[in-house]
């Protein structure tokens, strides 16, 4: 089944403790992206990647890192999480860019930072 898989689904952590949210897609998509969803704000892009070893900042990249060492994987790293990073995170992928191709979303990771 074609899908984007995120893990974990739920994560509670404390301020400053490094964490990684994994994302994997099995559709051989070139484009991958991370979003955070906050009430009343819709989805905001954190980082995206057009291909292996090619990443770029979205609208809200501060406090996050990403890597794209393999085409299928695009982990999101929070080196020193803070409470304002409590949010619902989505990973998404697309065959090529997003102007004409739909995004395929994972089921989300709900992160709480205390």
Q: Where do contacts with other proteins occur on this chain (CB under 8 A)?
A: 4, 31, 35, 40-45, 48, 50, 56, 58, 90, 92, 96-100, 102-103, 105-108
Q: How far is the CB of 80 from other proteins (least distance, A)?
A: 27
Return the number of the residue (38 or 79) whose C-beta is nearest other proteins. Answer: 38
Q: How far is the CB of 78 from other proteins (least distance, A)?
A: 20
Q: How far apart are CA 37 and CA 43, in angstroms?
A: 5
Return the number of the residue (59 or 79) whose C-beta is nearest other proteins. Answer: 59
Residues in the chain: 114
Residue 68 contacts residue 52 (beta carbons within 8 Å): yes
Q: How far is the CB of 28 from other proteins (least distance, A)?
A: 18
Q: How far is the CB of 91 from other proteins (least distance, A)?
A: 9
Return the number of the residue (82 or 96) whose C-beta is nearest other proteins. Answer: 96
CA distances from 2 to 39, 98, 102, 106, 108 (A): 29, 18, 14, 11, 16
Return the number of the residue (80 or 107) whose C-beta is nearest other proteins. Answer: 107
Burial class (CB in 10 A: 0-12, 13-18, 19+), 114: exposed
């Amino acid at each position: 089944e074609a899908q984007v898989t995120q893990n974990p689904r739920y994560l509670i952590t404390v301020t400053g403790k490094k964490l990684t949210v994994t994302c994997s897609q099995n559709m051989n998509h070139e484009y991958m992206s991370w979003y955070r969803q906050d009430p009343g704000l819709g989805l905001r892009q954190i980082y995206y990647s057009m291909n292996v070893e090619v990443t770029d900042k979205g609208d809200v990249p501060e406090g996050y890192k990403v890597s794209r060492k393999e085409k299928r994987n695009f982990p999101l790293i929070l080196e020193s999480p803070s409470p304002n990073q409590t949010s619902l995170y989505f990973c998404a992928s697309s065959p090529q860019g997003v102007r004409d191709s739909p995004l395929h979303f994972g089921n989300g990771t709900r992160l709480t930072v205390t």
